[in-house]
A and B are shown apart, each in its own frame.
Chain A
């Protein structure tokens, strides 16, 4: 089966800072890949590179052209408009006429349990509700791959659980998830595979069980102990 992403020695540089160093891996359809590592380890850069926002200075990325990707950010930005219009915008930008886009947006909002807030000003929602609107906006585009950059890091436990539940449901429906997280509990619950990054280097790439139970490179082991302490 063709991998969705195949990276070969991908290096990303911002000025003199090497944000990713010769990363090589591939991601298959339906995987739930978690990226872990300290701040500045390159998790967000890797996600932005996969989305195409950042171009590598060396190496090669092969993408499955048929796989549509969508990205979710730590702090979603919603327009000063109704919740429904915020979701409809993504569809409209992808070629759906405005009225059908609004109807589909409502369906997407039902999917994340926010249909009753469709007419509300999106900026007046809580952080958790805004993240669910962003999930609906991404889900409405019917992506095969969802990239999530610390999607729950600024949310309270209830909102966190709600977003995790939606991520799990999307995954069960066949969507490939690639997400970064500092929450190892969340990684255990959601991921099928974990990558550990440090200073832009990919130091571990293991199935979730092996990552939490098996031997790890010293740096990853130290990180894990620190996070679980």
Chain B
């Protein structure tokens, strides 16, 4: 047995025994990222959709800045949010630093450009292809973006899942603004960094396995959504399923 295999065995036993410390860290991670994604997606879907159809002076600059924000290092986001929330910062009166809320805010800021940029591209492409059809029906620019947002919901579900993946796997921002306080702001990624530096490899490895598991689950969800969407939109598959014995086909697919 070597260090890796010993650690792996202990890590699996921690997971299978539902170790309370491990469970609390995992649940906190999921909660922070879920709330952050909900906030970022609420704003990002609308802003991205609007940006997809809006035409204004300086739009190119806004898009360049948005695309640059995609590559924002999470530690830089952490630093900016830290400065905003620090006692002398403009949001210092909130007293959010080193709290759950600070981590949510940091992850929201980190994920917002991802959601906005991907939604913007999706809606802009859809509008270029079909926008005139909705315009001919009387849909004005913003209404068009909302209709396309709804119509592209399956593609956008993939964006939301990808955003959650980005949030839950980042370490820099939550480390800086959360402080990695045990029982309060310690999440999977910060705990992995800490436990590795302390030499507690089994716990770090167990968290790593669970983090990978979450990401794997997200990928499976993306694949399932894509497959479901293809089945919904594919007329031949619809026809096949309609022709199955015992199922009534209300109309033929010619």
Interface centre among B136, B143, B232 (most CB of A within 10 A): B136
Give which listed residue, A48, A79, A94, A124, contacts B151 with CB less than 8 A.
A79
Q: Mark B219-254, 1 if CB is under 8 A from A, else 0.
A: 000000000000011110011000000000011011
Query: Is B129 positioned at the interface, with any CB of A under 8 Å from its CB?
Result: yes
Interface residues in A212-228 (C-beta closer than 8 Å to B): none
Q: Mark A149-191, 1 if CB is under 8 A from B, else 0.
A: 0000000101100000000000000000000000000000000
- Whether A90 pairs with B138 at a CB distance below 8 angstroms is yes
Query: Is A104 positioned at the interface, with any CB of B under 8 Å from its CB?
Result: no
Stretch at the interface among A21-29, A34-42, A68-76: A68-76
Give which listed residue, A51, A124, A126, contacts B254 with CB less than 8 A.
A126
- CB neighbours (8 Å) of B132 from chain A are 48, 51, 53, 71, 73
- Whether B253 pairs with A125 at a CB distance below 8 angstroms is yes
Q: Mark B168-183, 1 if CB is under 8 A from A, else 0.
A: 0000000000000000
- Whether B136 pairs with A93 at a CB distance below 8 angstroms is no
Query: Is A43 positioned at the interface, with any CB of B under 8 Å from its CB?
Result: no
The docked-state distance in angstroms from the alpha carbon of A121 to that of B237 is 12
Query: Is B137 positioned at the interface, with any CB of A under 8 Å from its CB?
Result: yes
* Chain B interface, >50% SS class: helix
Interface residues in A47-92 (C-beta closer than 8 Å to B): 48, 51, 53, 70-71, 73, 76-77, 79-81, 89-90
Query: Is B6 positioned at the interface, with any CB of A under 8 Å from its CB?
Result: no
Q: How large is the interface on B (under 10, 10 to 19, 20 to 34, 35 or more residues)?
A: 20 to 34
- CB neighbours (8 Å) of A80 from chain B are 151, 153-154, 232-233
- Whether B147 pairs with A89 at a CB distance below 8 angstroms is yes
The docked-state distance in angstroms from the alpha carbon of A51 to that of B132 is 10
Q: How large is the interface on A (under 10, 10 to 19, 20 to 34, 35 or more residues)?
A: 20 to 34
- CB neighbours (8 Å) of B250 from chain A are 116-117, 119-120
Min CB–CB distance B133 → chain A (angstroms): 5
Interface residues in B136-165 (C-beta closer than 8 Å to A): 136-139, 143, 147, 150-151, 153-154
- Whether B136 pairs with A116 at a CB distance below 8 angstroms is no
Asked whether A141 and B137 contact (CB < 8 A) given A48-B132, A124-B238, the answer is: yes
- Whether A90 pairs with B154 at a CB distance below 8 angstroms is no
Using a CB–CB cutoff of 8 Å, the interface residues on chain A facing chain B are 48, 51, 53, 70-71, 73, 76-77, 79-81, 89-90, 93-94, 114, 116-117, 119-121, 123-126, 128-129, 137, 141, 156, 158-159
